[in-house]
């Protein structure tokens, strides 16, 4: 009596191979999803930092009494510029408020989380021309 040699895989071997492949594909899917989320979050922070730097450049001089302004971009980024007289010591010939502490805050919604980016600087306070 001659036996034919078995060729191929048994059903159990195929089930194990498919289960291993499913686990690997699941891990790969999670890695790709996490990476794309991180890229999107980096894009939001990059835009927010660019917007904050632009606002800081626009407010290099503020009124000597301080300033508080806010707004929102078309993309849903809310911004706020808050300037207050610096409370440090001034030389005799400088008026109080000649130096202003300015804080620029940009915030946005990222799904169910509120995120924000903030820049702080010191700018010049100037007398306003209004009567």
Strand order of the β-sheet with 99-110 is 61-63, 113-126, 99-110, 78-85, 67-72
What is the pLDDT at residue 117? 95
Number of independent structural domains in the chain? 1
Record the pTM: 0.71
Identify whether 28 is part of a domain. yes
Digit-coded pLDDT (tens) for 50-93: 999 999 999 999 898 889 999 999 988 999 999 998 887 777 77
Domain encompassing residue 74: 11-126
Identify whether 2 is part of a domain. no
Residues 6+ apart with CB under 8 A from 40: none
Identify whether 3 is part of a domain. no
């Amino acid at each position: 009596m001659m036996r034919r040699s078995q060729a191929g895989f048994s059903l159990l071997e195929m089930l194990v191979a498919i289960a291993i492949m499913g686990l690997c594909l699941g891990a790969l899917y999670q890695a790709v999803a996490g990476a794309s989320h991180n890229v999107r979050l980096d894009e939001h922070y990059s835009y927010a930092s660019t917007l904050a730097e632009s606002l800081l450049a626009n407010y290099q001089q503020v009124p000597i009494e301080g300033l508080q302004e806010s707004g929102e971009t078309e993309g849903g980024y809310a911004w706020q510029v808050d300037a207050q007289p610096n409370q440090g010591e001034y030389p005799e010939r400088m008026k109080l408020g000649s130096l202003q502490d300015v804080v620029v805050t940009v915030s946005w919604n990222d799904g169910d989380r509120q995120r924000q980016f903030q820049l702080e600087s010191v700018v010049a306070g100037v007398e306003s021309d209004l009567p």
